[in-house]
Amino acid sequence: MSDLMDLYQEVILDHNRKPRNFGPLPDADHEAEGYNPLCGDQLKVYLRVADGVILDVHFDGSGCAISKASASLMTEAVKGKSVEEAEELFGGFHELLTGDPSVRGEAPEKLGKLAVFEGVREFPVRVKCATLAWHTLHAALSGDQEQVSTE
């Protein structure tokens, strides 16, 4: 049962119940859609970017607790950051979920709250749920209008 509690940490459950920055962003200048066909998670990320800085970011859609909480925490993490910093966070987040912890060591400090997703690495089929929002963010930032799919 401890594994399960590692996965569904209180922060994750809270962001699932009350997702932050949820809903469309009316004056968005970047957006992209992400889809996880395995479980039907579907979300849209909206961004307002100026001079290489993410001024605002929202998301909406439907999905499991992991994908929703991940999207919600992502919006908090990248708001106000430069595009470069956001992409770096994505790299660190991805490494947290898929990298070898014996090589990586502790979750890097710069991930902040995002470290709550560390437990997901024990649930390989759920890694895609946690990274969907980030892949979608990346697509929105790189102007890739194609729908992102985890498969």
Partner 1 sequence: MTTDAVADAQIGRLPVALAVEEIRRDFPAMELKVYGKPLAYLDNAATSQKPRSVIDAEAHWYLESCANVHRGVHALSVRATAAYESARQKVASFVNAASAREIVFVKGTTDAVNLVAGSFARGRLDPGDEIVITGLEHHSNIVPWQLVCEDRGAKLRVARLDDRGDVDMEEFARLLSERTKMVAVSHVSNALGTINPVERMIELAHERDIPILIDGAQAVPHKKVDVQALGCDFYAFSSHKMFGPTGVGALYGRHDLLAAMPPYQGGGEMIRTVSFERTEYAEPPARFEAGTPNIAGAVGFGAAVDYLERIGLDRIEAYEDELLAYATAELEAVPGVRLIGTARRKAAVLSFVIGDVHAHDVGTILDQEGVAIRTGHHCAQPVMQHFGVPATSRASLAFYNTREEVDRLVVGLDKIREVFGG
Q: Which residues bind partner 1 (CB under 8 A)?
A: 1, 3-4, 7-8, 13, 17, 38-42, 62-66, 68, 123, 125-126, 129
Cβ closest to partner 1, residue 41 vs residue 89: 41
Q: What angle do CA 7, 147, 67 make, to 5 degrees?
A: 15
What is d(CA 139, CA 31) in angstroms, rounded to the nearest whole number? 8
CB of 48 to partner 1, least distance (A): 28
Cβ closest to partner 1, residue 21 vs residue 67: 67
3-state SS, residue 10: helix
How many other CB atoms are found less than 10 A from the CB of residue 44?
Answer: 21
Contact 83, 26 (CB under 8 A): no
CB of 135 to partner 1, least distance (A): 17
Q: Which two tokens stand for residue 77?
A: 């993490």
Cβ closest to partner 1, residue 61 vs residue 92: 61
Cβ closest to partner 1, residue 7 vs residue 25: 7
